Amino acid sequence: MMIDMSELDGKGFSCLEGCGMCCLCQPELTSNEMKIFETDEYLRNGLTREHVNGRRTAKPNAIKLQGGRGACYFLKNRLCTINEIKPHFCRQFPVHIHVMRRIQLNVNLSCRGITEGGNNLRAYAKTLMSYIPDSRLADELSLAKNIATEFDQRCRSAGIYQAPERLRSITSKLMPMIKREDGIAKLLAYADGEPEIGDLAEEEVANQINVTAPAKDIDEIARESNYDLFNIDDIAKLPVYVDEKLRWIVFQSFSDEIRALILEEDGKVEPLMNIRKDDIELAQRDPESLNIFADYASLLNSRDPFMGNVASICDLHDYRHDLMTVYVGVLGTNLLDLWWRASLLARIKSIKTIDGCLAMESIRAYDMDCLDALTIGSFI
């Protein structure tokens, strides 16, 4: 079976001792894993029916979080106490298997164990894939393809269809623009203008986007969008960033401020810093960071979960907007959220200009949220 692993090329991986960041995600067990967990009291005690996403299953099939919002029940002093039999969900990290029109492997760049250079991530992923029976992959793929076909049909009926290859090809022509200071503001303004696209030539669509006047109020757009993202009571659902000291930092918004909190294994939090919402402005980006942001835009453009996220947003809006404008709008919003996240980190670290290092840190602080976004297709 053909599986797209190109995102893994040239990447190495080595899990960092004392990190444990991925143990803040609630693992769900497969039916085979359930059989093992149900036979042992220690393992059984770690299970729950209550899922962090609000679901409640008939039988306990997820692992509890300590204090209902901290790390996995089985994590002690940042070490997994059931390493030999940890669920497939945990073994996969930082690789994700996405199924839509094909199977594609994605890398969670929030993991600090990922390195540029080397190729062992591909070898690691091949081993992971060998544990999944071909018949299961075929079943998941057939199901996901049906959903993707239905989505295409709905788009065609609404007159908004654009082929995925065309969306990607036009977007790839925008990368020089995205490297410029006002590139993101142009993407947002173009999507907002909702132009008729139909079957215009690719070059012409890219040119229209290039010459769009940039949106003027992106500071405010970024502030509101991110403020909403952090405006969640349940700490288990907040974005997490593991910093250079391997501290787990969560961000939560309260009335007119953002609080950075250090999350502990048992779910307790310690305040790190409170920042007034209005004090966070989009910081200047140096040329290296602009290149890194543009590389991230290319990565999103190649990811099937991103395409699936665009599709789910299109569905949410009842197929009213041309797929190209939704695609460009979602890309612009993601890049703006990333820029704002970098600006928040700059504020916390008392840095004025976003450089290459900070741009990489912001991707670590952001990629997990991006991969968690709603998508048609599914992660298995």
Total number of residues that touch ligand SF4 (CB under 6 A): 21
Q: Identify whether the C-beta of residue 64 lies closer than 8 Å to the C-beta of residue 52.
A: no
CA separation for the pair 80, 58 (Å, rounded): 27
Residue 15 binds ligand SF4, judged by CB under 6 A: yes
Rounded CA separation 238/233 (Å): 8
Question: Using CA of residue 349, residue 300, residue 115, residue 380, what is the dihedral sign?
Answer: positive
Q: Which of 64, 86, 247, 277 binds ligand SF4 (CB under 6 A)?
A: 86
For position 74 contacting ligand SF4 by CB under 6 A, the verdict is yes
| 134 φ/ψ sector (left φ>0, alpha ψ -120 to 50, else beta) | alpha
Binding segment (CB under 6 A) for ligand SF4, from list 14-22, 160-168, 251-259, 266-274: 14-22
Q: For ligand SF4, which residue of 113, 195, 214, 267 counts as binding (CB under 6 A)? A: 113
Report DSSP letters for 185-207, one per residue. HHHHHHHHH----TT--HHHHHH
> Site for ligand SF4 (CB under 6 A): which residue of 5, 7, 11, 22?
22
Candidate ranges 111-119, 182-190, 256-264, 296-304; the one touching ligand SF4 (CB under 6 A): 111-119
Q: Given the complex with ligand SF4, which of 86 and 259 has the nearer CB atom?
A: 86
Q: What is the largest CA-CA distance in the chain?
A: 64
Q: CA-CA distance, 14 to 226, in Å (whole number)?
A: 31
Check binding of 65 to ligand SF4 (CB under 6 A). Answer: no
Q: Which of 5, 27, 183, 314 binds ligand SF4 (CB under 6 A)?
A: 27
Stretch that binds ligand SF4, among 22-30, 134-142, 259-267, 307-315 (CB under 6 A): 22-30
What's the rounded Cα separation, in Å, for the pair 27 and 87? 7
Residue type, 163: A
Rounded CA-CA distance 171/352 in Å is 30
Work out whether 345 is an interface residue with ligand SF4 (CB under 6 A): no
Number of Cβ atoms within 10 Å of the Cβ of 304: 24
Instruction: Name the residue with tokens 């543009």.
Output: 294
19 binds ligand SF4 (CB under 6 A): yes
Least distance from C-beta 74 to ligand SF4, angstroms? 4
Sketch the per residue contact string, 206 through 225, with ligand SF4: x for CB under 6 A, - otherwise: --------------------
Q: Kindly tell me which of 250 and 313 has the beta carbon lying closer to ligand SF4.
A: 250
Q: Does 85 bind ligand SF4 (CB under 6 A)?
A: no
Q: Extract the tokens encoding 262.
A: 């250090």
3-class DSSP state of 351: coil
Query: What are the residues facing 103 on neighbouring strands?
Result: 3, 99
For 377, what's the count of Cα atoms within 13 Å in the CB-facing half-sphere? Answer: 30
* 82 lines the binding site for ligand SF4 (CB under 6 A): yes
Question: What is the smallest separation between the CB atom of 89 and ligand SF4, expressed in angstroms?
Answer: 7
Question: Binding of ligand SF4 at residue 11 (CB under 6 A)?
Answer: no
- Least spacing, CB of residue 118 vs ligand SF4, in Å: 15
Binding-site ranges for ligand SF4 (CB under 6 A): 15-16, 19-23, 27, 63, 72, 74-75, 80, 82, 86, 90, 93-94, 111-113
